[in-house]
Amino acid sequence: MITMDDSRQTQMTTAEVSRPRGGPFIDAPGRSRHWMNWLFADKNRMFWVLQTAGWLGFFILHVSSVSTFVAGRTPEALLYSLASSLVGFLTTSILARPIYHYARGQKPIYIFLIAIPSTILMAVAMAAMKTKIFSYIFGPEWLDTRNMPFGVGNQLLLLLPDIQANLFLLGSWAGFYFGINYYLNLRNEMERVVLSARLADQAQLKMLRYQLNPHFLFNTLNAISTLVLEQDGKQANKMISQLSAFLRYSLDSDPLLKTSLAEEVRALKLYLEIEKTRFADRLKLNFEIDDSLLDARVPSLILQPAIENAIKYAIAHMESGGEISVSAERDGKSLVMKVCDNGPNAPEDPASLLRDAKAGVGLVNMRDRLAYLYQDRCEFRLCNVDPQGLCVSIRIPFETKD
């Protein structure tokens, strides 16, 4: 048994192959889009949401710890926490963001040379600003209280505790800023890789689907030419009409979409009628397909390579009695389709056809298309028929349009 194990899947329309509109988070049941996908969809919106939420959290933490410890639960303490949070919010929004944004576009060594000194300067500036606010809110006597541990009245020494805290605060902010931006860049690169892979898969699938055996066209045109030379215009015109209808269907149908089994059978009959005209009584056709299966969805012209293989390597080598049978049946949740012939040249090991660069092109085409469309949810088999002949069998999920 030859089973599909290809991990690629391209069951999508061309319209679906575009930059993903969602995000990296799984949509929650009952919701059209995960809220995190909405947040990450726009970088500017994400910055302001996170910026506001982060400094709001800082404000709550500052109220519950720092300002309460310094001045108790007073309006002044609450005002100081609010002012400290606004200083941080404005510093990171007006100064840190554009500086770090510029640094991100530089080489790694320059990122450090720009980010570290600017972070230190901003930490000092924040400390000075908060000291002024502290003095304004609580009065000069509070500054004297803060000076006591140092034993001097040097205003610069008053900044030291705040500078250390601000360095930690701005360093953490910078870490989040650079980390999130690099994550988004990585996500975008991954999306481009996935998009490229999808486009490559679709191109490969289209190539497989549109791959027509030149021998079929050559033999058909040669048969038409022979009919013209024999002045059998009626047969020649019929064959041209059949070829035109088959080629139109082949080129118009989207290889990335599925069609009904009824349409597939109609297209196969167009193809086989052309071959029937060529081989006349040497070819007998049998279709064993229940009407209840005609609405099943199948890849367009998926069986055509198997029929082409049967004609080329079986019927063409028989002087009479050639027969091709096409059948379809439902087996539980699967649809099983078979193309069997009674040719005398089937190998003892049918799987060897897939390794033959010449004989197995059409069959390999079938196998690869199934792998692209269904991954490991399909089965592709080649087996011998008693007393002679080859049977190509495929098993795919039973699906309907509804």
pLDDT digits (tens, 9 = 90+) for 389-402: 999 999 999 998 76
Range in 60-64, 83-87, 214-218, 363-367 with the lowest mean pLDDT? 214-218
Per residue in 30-55, pLDDT (tens digit) is 444 556 666 667 788 888 989 999 99
Buried b (16+ CB within 10 A) or exposed e, 329-341: eeeeeebbbbbbb
Place of tokens 């510093």: 91
Q: What's the rounded Cα separation, in Å, for the pair 330 and 290?
A: 9
Per residue in 296-351, pLDDT (tens digit) is 999 888 888 898 888 888 888 888 889 999 999 999 999 999 999 998 888 888 88
Query: What local confidence, expressed as pLDDT, does residue 323 receive?
Result: 92
Query: What local confidence, expressed as pLDDT, does residue 146 receive?
Result: 56
Query: What local confidence, expressed as pLDDT, does residue 19 receive?
Result: 38
Per DSSP, 15 falls in state G
CB atoms within 10 A of CB 229: 9
Place of tokens 């193309």: 339
Query: What local confidence, expressed as pLDDT, does residue 18 receive?
Result: 35
Give yes or no for a contact between 4 and 367, defined as CB atoms under 8 angstroms apart. Answer: yes
Per residue in 55-107, pLDDT (tens digit) is 999 998 888 876 666 656 778 778 888 888 999 999 999 999 999 999 988 88
Place of tokens 């949740």: 333
Give every CB contact of residue 311 below 8 A, 6+ residues apart in sequence. Answer: 275, 279, 283, 324
CA dist 384 to 236, 287, 345, 350, 351, Å?
36, 19, 10, 7, 10
Looking at per-residue confidence, does 25 or 246 come out higher?
246
The yes-or-no verdict on residue 249 having pLDDT over 50 is: yes
Mean pLDDT of 10-27: 39
- The DSSP annotation for 234-288 comes to HHHHHHHHHHHHHHHHHHHS-TTSEEEHHHHHHHHHHHHHHHHHHHGGGEEEEEE
SS3 2: strand
Threshold 0.85, pTM exceeds: no
Domain 211-397, CATH: 3.30.565.10
For the chain, the average pLDDT equals: 78
Q: How confident is the model at residue 164 (pLDDT cuts 50, 70, 90)?
A: confident
Looking at per-residue confidence, does 245 or 93 come out higher?
93
Q: How confident is the model at residue 252 (pLDDT cuts 50, 70, 90)?
A: low
The yes-or-no verdict on residue 150 having pLDDT over 80 is: no
The yes-or-no verdict on residue 254 having pLDDT over 50 is: yes
- CA-wise closest residue to 164 among 218, 210, 127: 127
Taking 3-state DSSP, the helix, strand and coil percentages for the chain, each rounded to the nearest 5, stand at: 65, 10, 25
Helical residues (DSSP H) of 148-230, grouped into ranges:
155-210, 214-229
Domain ranges (residues) in the chain: 42-207, 211-397
Q: What's the rounded Cα separation, in Å, for the pair 336 and 221?
A: 34
Q: What's the rounded Cα separation, in Å, for the pair 303 and 338?
A: 8
